[in-house]
């Protein structure tokens, strides 16, 4: 090997090393971005779970309210009808 070949080989090795460094830097940046995205996805999943739990609570309370309203209506409707009949009877008996 001549000195020119050795110098060319040395430059080629330096170029390969520099390219590998650059590639490692880019991989590090990509990993950082991926970690940030993963953290964001995890936060969104946690938020979604909290929202889902809250929606289930609201739905349960709503079902309880509807059930209570139905029971109340079954009691109040006959009472109101009886009062209307009674008031009508009072008005028309004369």
**Angle value at C-alpha 45, between 59 and 60, nearest 5 degrees:** 10
Q: Which residue has the tokens 């006959």?
A: 78
* pTM given for the model: 0.58
pLDDT of amino acid 1: 75
Q: Report the residue count for the chain.
A: 94
pLDDT per residue, tens digit, the chain (94 aa), is 788 888 999 999 999 999 999 999 999 999 999 999 999 999 999 999 999 999 999 999 999 999 999 999 999 999 999 999 999 999 988 6
pLDDT of amino acid 40: 98
Positive or negative, the CA dihedral 64, 70, 75, 76 is: positive
Instruction: Tally DSSP H helices, then E strands, for the chain.
Output: 1, 0
């Amino acid at each position: 090997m001549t000195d020119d070949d050795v110098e060319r080989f040395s430059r080629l090795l330096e170029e390969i090393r520099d390219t590998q460094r650059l590639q490692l830097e880019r991989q590090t940046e990509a990993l950082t971005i991926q970690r940030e995205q993963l953290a964001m996805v995890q936060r969104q999943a946690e938020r979604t779970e909290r929202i889902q739990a809250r929606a289930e609570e609201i739905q349960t309370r709503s079902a309880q309210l509807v059930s209570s309203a139905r029971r109340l209506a079954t009691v109040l409707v006959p009472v109101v009808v009886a009062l209307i009949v009674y008031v009508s009877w009072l008005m028309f008996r004369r």
